C-alpha cells in the first residue's frame, strides 16, 4: 500500500514552529528539535518502529536522532570511521544492506559533484573515478532496490542542485518534489515569531516517492 506523502510546513508555519521551539527550549533548558522535524511535522512520529537508512551518516548525529525517535536505523558512510552503533563504513552502492527501508535520508550527499568528494566539493582523481563508476541513474536504481514499495526518501542539499533530475526519477518510477523553506521572522513576524530576528538561507530538500 502506497503511503501518503509527508506533510510539509510552509515558510510561515516553519518560522513560527522554529521560534516557538526556540523559546520553549530556552525556557526549559532542553535541546531544540531538529529543523527536519519542524519542517516535516509528522516525521518524528512516522519513523517510530520503522526501518530507516541514512546514506552519508558521517559522525552519526542524525542516526542517533532517528534512533532516539524510535526508528530502527542503519547508517552508511564512505569516509568516516563509525562513531555510533549501526553505521557501516563503505559505499552504499556495494556494501550489503538489508532492505527494504521505510525511509531513506541523505543530507548534503547527492548534490552535484559532492557524493564522492572526501574534501567537500574537490574534484580529485578518486572523485572522478567513482562518479564514472556510479553515475546518478545507477544510484537511483540502487535506492529503488533498497526502498520499500510504500517508502519515501528525503534528500537535503546545501550548495548545489540535486544530481537526480526529474526525468531520471521518472525513468525509475519515482516522482520528486522540491521543497524550499525560509526561516524569516522579519517577514513572518506574527505571533511567536515576532520577537526574534531570524533570517536564514532557505532549507532545501527533495522529497522522493514512487508514482
pTM of the predicted protein model: 0.89
Query: Average pLDDT over the chain, rounded to whole?
Result: 86
- pLDDT at position 15, please? 92
Tens of pLDDT, residues 30-53: 888 899 999 999 999 999 999 999
pLDDT band at 122 (very low <50, low <70, confident <90, very high): low
Find the mean pLDDT for residues 140-147.
94
What does the chain come to in residues?
A: 211
Report the b/e string of 126-144 with b at 16+ CB within 10 A: ebeeebeebebbebbebbe
Q: What is the pLDDT of residues 51-110, one digit of tens each?
A: 999 999 988 999 999 999 999 999 999 877 888 889 999 889 999 999 899 999 999 888
| Nearest to 143, CA basis, from 53, 80, 74 | 53
pLDDT at 141: 93
Quickly list DSSP for 172-204.
HTEEEEEEEEEEETTTT-SGGGTT---EEEEEE
**Residue 142 — pLDDT band, cuts 50, 70, 90?**
very high
Amino acid at each position: 500500500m502506497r503511503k501518503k506523502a509527508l506533510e510539509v510546513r510552509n515558510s510561515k508555519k516553519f518560522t513560527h514552529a522554529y521560534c516557538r521551539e526556540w523559546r520553549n527550549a530556552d525556557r526549559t533548558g532542553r535541546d531544540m528539535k531538529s529543523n527536519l522535524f519542524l519542517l516535516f511535522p509528522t516525521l518524528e512520529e512516522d519513523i517510530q518502529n520503522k526501518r530507516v537508512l541514512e546514506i552519508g551518516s558521517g559522525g552519526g548525529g542524525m542516526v542517533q536522532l532517528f534512533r532516539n525517535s524510535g526508528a530502527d536505523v542503519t547508517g552508511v558512510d564512505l569516509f568516516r570511521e563509525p562513531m555510533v552503533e549501526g553505521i557501516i563504513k563503505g559505499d552504499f552502492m556495494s556494501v550489503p544492506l538489508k532492505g527494504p527501508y521505510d525511509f531513506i535520508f541523505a543530507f548534503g550527499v547527492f548534490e552535484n559533484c559532492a557524493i564522492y568528494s572526501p574534501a567537500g566539493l574537490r574534484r580529485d582523481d578518486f572523485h572522478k573515478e567513482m562518479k564514472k563508476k556510479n553515475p546518478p541513474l545507477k544510484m537511483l536504481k540502487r535506492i529503488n532496490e533498497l526502498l520499500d514499495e510504500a517508502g519515501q526518501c528525503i534528500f537535503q542539499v546545501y550548495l548545489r542542485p540535486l544530481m537526480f533530475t526529474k526525468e531520471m526519477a521518472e525513468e525509475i518510477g519515482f516522482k520528486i518534489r522540491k521543497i524550499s523553506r525560509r526561516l524569516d521572522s522579519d517577514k513572518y513576524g506574527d505571533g511567536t515569531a515576532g520577537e526574534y530576528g531570524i533570517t536564514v538561507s532557505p532549507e532545501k530538500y527533495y522529497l522522493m516517492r514512487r508514482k
